[in-house]
Structure 1
Amino acid sequence: MKTLSVVILTKNEEKNIVEVINNARKCTDNILVVDSGSTDKTVFLANECGAEVVFRKWDNDFAAQRNFALAKLKTDYVLYLDADERMSDELIISIKKIMKQDRLKQYSFIRRIKAFGFEYEHGIFKPDEVLRLFPVEAVHWENKVHERPVCCLPIVKLAGIVDHYTYESWQQWLDKAGNYTTIWAQDSYNNGKRAGASVAFFHGIYGFFRSYIVQLGFLDGWAGMYSSLQHFFYTLIKYWKLYELTNKNQNKIS
């Protein structure tokens, strides 16, 4: 029987932390919360629920938070959950079955996004397949934002889904978009990526087209329209911030 830990990254998640821990406990009692400096009751509630809580100072690097957790684990496998995600009973059963098998794989499942009071079927928020379950020794994460796992093992898709209860308001989306685009732009610039103003507008327009037309966002009605507009704005802003960095540093050189 393989052992499993569930890792949850947090920052001011008192609204979600109890429910996500209770959901995770249906798979395992080994629950690790990596907190990045919550000022609400997140840490207190996580401790009350019996989770192990560790602290890592936030440095605008989601991959570093996830990799930090790996060094703390003593189990065979790790499952990553966001605080606003909930596993279905079918997915929990699938994970339990995996822990009884003697095979080395990485595992994915379908994530269904619920945002602004709407369950999306198309567009940028359509259900997607995410890799979240790995042997601890076989994975590491890269990219400061929109981080991705690096694992060479074969992928197996599990039955069941995880519901992602994401943005409740435009302000919440704006706050995250502002933070994420800044991190992306700085990281991209540091890695040698450059952009001009026309490139920023092209990526924004293409982002809307891909979400609304290619990914059939129009089939979600008004929800599909404003999620596609959000994606236009998000994509434009992240490339515009990269353009500002490019322009600023070119002026310094000249």
Structure 2
Amino acid sequence: MAHPFWTYCAQVLAFDLGRERPEQTPGAGLDKKRLQALRAASRPGVSCVALLGLGLGELARDLAGRASPECAFTAVELDPAKARRLIASGALPWLGEDGPARLIADASPWAAGFLLRLAGDLGNAPLIMLNPELGEAEKSRYQSLRRFLAGRAGAAGAPLPGQTEPRPRLTLAAIVRPGEPELADFFDGVRDIAGDLVLVWDGATLPEEARSLAIPEGAIQLARPLCDDFAAQRNAMLAACPDGAVLSLDADERVSPGLRLALPELARLAQYDGVYLPRLTLAPGEERVLCGYGLWPDPQLRLFRKTPGARYVRPVHERLEGLPGATAVAPAAPIIHLNHVLKSPEAWADKLARFDAASGGRLAHRLGREYPSLPREFFDDLVRRTPPAALWTVAAPAVMTESAESADSVNSAS
């Protein structure tokens, strides 16, 4: 049976969606640094070795030759084009479907971090090292990944056994457009997850749906023209939310079973001011998930504490900033994204035109045809051993900004 890394990378590497980055020159003393790396990997007690960056492929070859079932080896390459080139040249002869020497190749540091932490057999004493064959410019991308891998893992902070605490106050907040498909299904899916509901409708007055749909009694509903500024619309939404935890969703998103189970604990925000939620974009159809090049895990900062400084920025591909405390990611509590399932080609064309207008001409979104994808069960299996309310600290929230922003663009234009 193929290892998950093989399954994932085979799909990603089948698609050439980016350009290979310029080759970097390694620093001085390379032979000495390689020898030091090999010695470190040979120390007793090392549970696995993760090499960040393929570099020239030489150190990866030597480390792969020492891999065993007791101490697996994984090379991580954030330039898929480079990985394809090295494979084609025969520089990675150690690569196989289910051996102890493995490869993760994807442009997304988030994806590499998730795969390593969920299926990397890191054990109690992993050795995570930067490849000395990398140039200085390459190292910065891998250093942020290494910080993410070093982040603390824990739970959301449930009450201790025997203790009882009131359910935390949680507000579900959304910006919606009249006529969006399956709005009734959206409201039905969030009916029991939050004590408060805030909706901001795009328009000068509340639409008929505000009265005809089965929206929970007591919901705060506002009408406000979008005016091609998604950040301003979300800031109006945020201003209407009561103090406490806020879960922000879009009308084409659904709460997964894992997120539904985890919300009572996650919403306590006991140690964090914000929690990133993975987003699974279903396509083609409802049984596959887009992946690769930032499309998975596509984490979204959607669960957060309302604080005075919190504010959305950027008219398009808006982002929440200003949370004063630490943030984490909940790997087993995803949002389900139905944008490709629900929207017709005409609706997509209209959405992309609005994104282009909101960007002031800086972005030109195009409707793509095909991207990597894997069966939904692949991602379910990845988190099967992870509690729904598990959290990984994000030591530096900007660690994966590049891939998150590219995912926004592709999710909008794919």
TM exceeding 0.5: yes
- Aligned partner of residue 128 in structure 1, secondary structure: coil
The 2-side partners of 1:41 and 1:180 are apart by 25
* Of 198, 202, 208, the match for 1:32: 198
Equivalenced residue count is 204
Equivalent pair of 1:177/1:234 in contact (CA under 8 Å): yes
Q: Is the aligned partner of 1:171 residue 2:346? A: yes
Q: Residue deviations 1:28-71, cap 9 Å, x none? A: 13011110128864322356432321111222110111111122
Which residue does the alignment assign to 1:239? Answer: none
Which residue does the alignment assign to 1:11? Answer: 177
Moved more, 164-173 or 34-43: 34-43
Counting only pairs closer than 5 Å after superposition, residues 29-108 of structure 1 correspond to structure 2 as 29-37=195-203, 41-46=208-213, 48-50=215-217, 51-100=219-268, 102-108=270-276
> Structure 1 pair 62/162, CA: closer, same or farther in 2 (3 Å)?
same
CA drift of 1:100 comes to 4.1
- Aligned partner of residue 195 in structure 2, secondary structure: coil
Task: Spell out structure 1 runs of 4+ moving beyond 6 A.
Answer: none
The 2-side partners of 1:73 and 1:15 are apart by 25
- TM-score when normalising by structure 1: 0.68
Equivalent pair of 1:26/1:92 in contact (CA under 8 Å): no
Which residue does the alignment assign to 2:335? Answer: 162
Q: Which letter maps to 2:327?
A: I
The 2-side partners of 1:76 and 1:23 are apart by 21
Counting only pairs closer than 5 Å after superposition, residues 163-202 of structure 1 correspond to structure 2 as 163-167=336-340, 168-186=343-361, 188=362
Which residue does the alignment assign to 1:141? Answer: 312
Identity %: 23
Cα root mean square deviation, aligned: 3.4
CA drift of 1:114 comes to 2.0
- TM-score when normalising by structure 2: 0.43
Which residue does the alignment assign to 2:278? Answer: 110
> Structure 1 pair 46/67, CA: closer, same or farther in 2 (3 Å)?
farther
Q: Which letter maps to 2:242?
A: K
Structure number with the higher helix fraction is: 1
The 2-side partners of 1:123 and 1:112 are apart by 14
> Structure 1 pair 127/13, CA: closer, same or farther in 2 (3 Å)?
farther
Q: Is the aligned partner of 1:122 residue 2:292? A: yes
The 2-side partners of 1:10 and 1:58 are apart by 10
> Structure 1 pair 156/70, CA: closer, same or farther in 2 (3 Å)?
same
Moved more, 167-176 or 95-104: 95-104
CA drift of 1:178 comes to 1.4
- Aligned partner of residue 19 in structure 1, secondary structure: helix
Q: Is there any run of 5+ residues in structure 2 with no aligned partner, and where?
A: 1-165, 375-408
Find the structure with the greater CA-based Rg. 2
> Structure 1 pair 40/127, CA: closer, same or farther in 2 (3 Å)?
farther
